Structure 1
Amino acid sequence: MWGHACMAVITTFRTAVRLTGGRVLLWSLLGRLPNAMCPIGTLLLVTHNSGSVWRGSAVAGALAVSQALGGPLVGRLADRRGQRPVGLAAAAVNALAIVALVLASENRLPLTPQIVAAALIGLSMPLIGPLSRSRWVRLAGGDPELTSATLSLDGTVDEVSFTAGPAVIGLLATLLDPAAGLLLAAGLVGVCGTLFALHPTAPPGAVTERRTGGRLLSTPYALLLAGMALLGACFGSIQVGVTATTEHLGHPGAAGLIYGFLGGTSAFAGVATAALPSRWDLPVRLRVATALLLGASLPLLAVQSVTGLALAIGCLGVAIAPQMITMFGLVERTVPAARLGEAMAALVSSITLAQSAGTLAAGWVADRYGPTSPFRVTCAAAAAALLLAALTATSRRYRRPVSSEERAPAAELMAR
């Protein structure tokens, strides 16, 4: 049974890869790593150089807030002007801003210039994830099943970058210095972000399509934005909690590795999600995954060792990918197809903005109530997410899209 499910997943992924080839997937993966490296890398760098978790949280929070605000703007420009010119400009500015933050922190400059550099990083962050999903949707040609498969594949790429980014930061922080990780991020975004922007699959601007794309904001979509925001608050508080706890236990370099372990178990769960039977409709999956999120968050309140922290974080990761993938899948049922890329970007901004709020709140709590207290913020956000999903995630609100039989599959169009 599981063997048949795994073969079906592999076949679906192979079909999706045929739309672009493997090269753009590689650029997409490597270009996303800085997005996962910069938040935890900034937190580690500034905390290490200043000796204050709050200062590190403030700079990392500024990065997250600016990324949430700048993301929709970059996405809008990419839709109007094309992904190529906007992607090239964003990659160049972002690489320079990361280098500027490293120089400011290493030279012990005041907090203000460090916050300004971090804000510029966020504002110029290339939206490789949302732009990649927008490409997938265009290439899928309107086939719902192939669109779903490509978004699942893209979600796997997201999870791999989410895993590898903090792990690389943690490894370099342990072996060298936190600055080394951010300098690597600058190189990756400069090179791979450029290659991603230059790939032939980059769509041109489409002003007309955006003007006629239909209404974006609706009650179901607003609920998804709220759910993603609560998940972002979990992310931010977990980052601070892991950083503060590992530093308290005398192993500060383990923070990135443990947070990367969270991404590893999340990626594994994400792949397994693709093998779930179709009778598990997306609203049901969302309610179950959110319940798992709360249940897995509670053990974090009792951790007393690095090993215990790693185990608790690993269990928490099992609930994250299924919840994220499910919410991204539900977006297809709530927004016009012509505005799906914009909707994806807004979801990412929702996560990022809430992550900054969770980071700031958790940093404040850590300085006043102890190193594990940020996990109280995690549990509170997870409880609110479960309440929201239990009350609103219904099949009636999120109806299924048009069946594939009603459209010509994009795979058949390609074969012709």
Structure 2
Amino acid sequence: MASTVKNRPGYGQLLRTPGAWTFLLPGFLARQPFAMLTIGIVLLVQHTTGSYGSAGAVAAFTGVSMALFAPQSGKLADRFGQRAVLLPGVLVHAASVSALTVLALSGAPLWALFVAAVPTGASVPQIGPMVRARWAAKLEGSPLMTTAAAFESVTDEFTFVVGPVLATALSTGVHPAAGLIAEATLTLAGGLFFAAQSRTQPQPSRAAGHARVEHASALSIPGVRVLAVAFLGIGSVFGGMQVSLTAFSEEIGNPGVNGLLYGIFAAGNMLAGIACGAIAWKSGPRRLMVLGYAGLTLTASALWATHSVALLAGLGLLVGLCIAPALISGYTLVESLVPASARTEAFTWLTGAVALGQAAAVTVAGRLADENGASAGFVVPLVGTALALVTLLALRSRLSPRSSGRIAARGMGHRVPVTVD
């Protein structure tokens, strides 16, 4: 995988894009809760029920609800504008998290937690996809698009360094519900702040007169369906690692190390994201995506057999290093696969797929950890990434761009024809 950095448009040039900081700063604050929600639910429900399986099931309801409703939220944002979707969404989310927290602390039956988990997941604000859509609107056809995709991956992963550590520290050091309370507070404050930056949001398709495409779903594009299936594998890594690392930390009698281990895993992803944005890979995004999933499958295959904190931290770092190329390549492909009027929806399909994969993973890994110990839970990331890799290899031809003659951004600071391999 040869590379060069000559004439590479860097992060400094990207961040000098006019108006960028008006949505980057509030977007950074508003997306923090996304990384706190699942682990906050797992820690609270496990504390109140004593079962990782029950905790994983409640978190799974949240993830499934988000996966089902996020694309609809993205479609509405494309049509009516991001602000119109965000304002009611953050209010519903804060109220739903509060209800879930009260029910868990009061010893409510599991079915009641499931009921509260549905609106909690359905109302998760899709800040990451909305920020990516704002970049796409500003950088249409620019060589900075790949840099923007890498920058957003780094930002996402930084939240996954900070978010789980913060949620774990609050839940274990202050109160079992403190992580979720912080999540709801940040969602409300950050979401409202981000929604106020209406001047940088993409023009709603209804206002722009896209009468012919406003009802078309991004999922009708074959490449988006392939990417969504592949991103289920990313979700299986996030969910499987969260539950299994929590169970492992409990098994060794040091629950506080959970946040550190997950932070190291997320830091690997962040570091790889920085490298992906700084290096001009000669391989196209489709090939990089396959290589990323191959690396994920290989590194995840050793997790279940590791019983040392140091070794698990090292393996977690390697797993994290392999995630960024897979994520960045997938998000980069969206720009060439999907018309501008449906990109927020397309990004939310991918985010929703990660949430759905995470939901399935926390459920299965939770059951396995309850019955067979933490090591069994680590099988989930392996199976999920292996299935995603097989899917990519079998259907990679569907990731070809909409037009073979399209000019798109590549990593050298100039335009070249799209390369998908």
Runs (5+) with no aligned partner, structure 2: 414-421
Aligned partners of 2:49 and 2:244: how far apart in 1?
Answer: 18
Aligned partners of 2:250 and 2:65: how far apart in 1?
Answer: 27
Which of 290, 293, 298 is matched with 1:290 structurally? 293
Pick closer, same or farther for the CA change 1:278–1:117 going to 2, 3 Å. Answer: same
2:84 corresponds to 1:80 = no
Per-residue CA distance 1:167-193 (angstroms, 9 max, x = gap): 111222332223112111111111111
Q: TM-score, structure 2 length as denominator?
A: 0.88
Residue equivalent to 2:302: 299
CA contact (8 A) 1:215 1:335 kept: no
2:125 corresponds to 1:122 = no
Deviation (angstroms), 1:302: 1.4
Deviation (angstroms), 1:204: 5.2
Per-residue CA distance 1:320-361 (angstroms, 9 max, x = gap): 111111111112222223212211111111111122112212
Structure with higher RCO (Cα < 8 A, 6+ apart): 2
2:227 corresponds to 1:233 = no
Aligned partners of 1:339 and 1:85: how far apart in 2?
Answer: 16
Amino acid across the alignment from 1:47: Q
2:358 corresponds to 1:359 = no
2:322 corresponds to 1:319 = yes
CA contact (8 A) 2:333 2:399 kept: no
2:179 corresponds to 1:181 = yes
Deviation (angstroms), 1:17: 4.4
CA contact (8 A) 1:169 1:178 kept: no
CA contact (8 A) 1:264 1:317 kept: yes
CA contact (8 A) 1:39 1:60 kept: yes
2:28 corresponds to 1:32 = no
2:349 corresponds to 1:350 = no
Residue equivalent to 2:41: 42
Aligned partners of 1:293 and 1:229: how far apart in 2?
Answer: 13
Amino acid across the alignment from 1:359: V
Pick closer, same or farther for the CA change 1:64–1:248 going to 2, 3 Å. Answer: same
Pick closer, same or farther for the CA change 1:160–1:211 going to 2, 3 Å. Answer: farther
Which of 186, 205, 218 is matched with 2:221 structurally? 218
1:131-280 equivalence runs, <5 A: 131-140=130-139, 142-199=140-197, 200-203=199-202, 205-207=204-206, 208-209=209-210, 211-212=212-213, 216=218, 217-280=220-283
Aligned partners of 2:235 and 2:344: how far apart in 1?
Answer: 20
Pick closer, same or farther for the CA change 1:396–1:242 going to 2, 3 Å. Answer: closer
Aligned partners of 2:13 and 2:205: how far apart in 1?
Answer: 29
Pick closer, same or farther for the CA change 1:24–1:221 going to 2, 3 Å. Answer: closer
Pick closer, same or farther for the CA change 1:228–1:13 going to 2, 3 Å. Answer: farther
Pick closer, same or farther for the CA change 1:333–1:251 going to 2, 3 Å. Answer: same
Q: TM-score, structure 1 length as denominator?
A: 0.89
2:402 corresponds to 1:403 = no
CA contact (8 A) 2:79 2:205 kept: yes
Amino acid across the alignment from 2:107: R
Per-residue CA distance 1:33-71 (angstroms, 9 max, x = gap): 111100111111111121111110111111101111111
Deviation (angstroms), 1:233: 2.0
Deviation (angstroms), 1:318: 0.5
2:55 corresponds to 1:56 = yes
Amino acid across the alignment from 2:407: S
Pick closer, same or farther for the CA change 1:134–1:206 going to 2, 3 Å. Answer: same
Aligned partners of 2:233 and 2:184: how far apart in 1?
Answer: 29
Q: Which moved more, 1:287-296 or 1:200-209?
A: 200-209
Pick closer, same or farther for the CA change 1:9–1:271 going to 2, 3 Å. Answer: farther
Structure having the larger proportion of residues in helix: 1
Amino acid across the alignment from 2:309: V
Residue equivalent to 2:111: 112
Amino acid across the alignment from 1:155: S
Deviation (angstroms), 1:117: 2.1
Residue equivalent to 2:374: 371
Amino acid across the alignment from 1:145: P
Deviation (angstroms), 1:13: 4.4
Compute the RMSD of aligned alpha carbons: 2.6
Amino acid across the alignment from 1:192: G
Runs (5+) with no aligned partner, structure 1: 410-416
Pick closer, same or farther for the CA change 1:282–1:400 going to 2, 3 Å. Answer: farther
CA contact (8 A) 2:235 2:354 kept: yes
Pick closer, same or farther for the CA change 1:104–1:28 going to 2, 3 Å. Answer: same
Pick closer, same or farther for the CA change 1:257–1:9 going to 2, 3 Å. Answer: farther
2:9 corresponds to 1:5 = no
- The number of aligned residues is 403
Aligned partners of 1:210 and 1:257: how far apart in 2?
Answer: 50
Deviation (angstroms), 1:128: 0.6
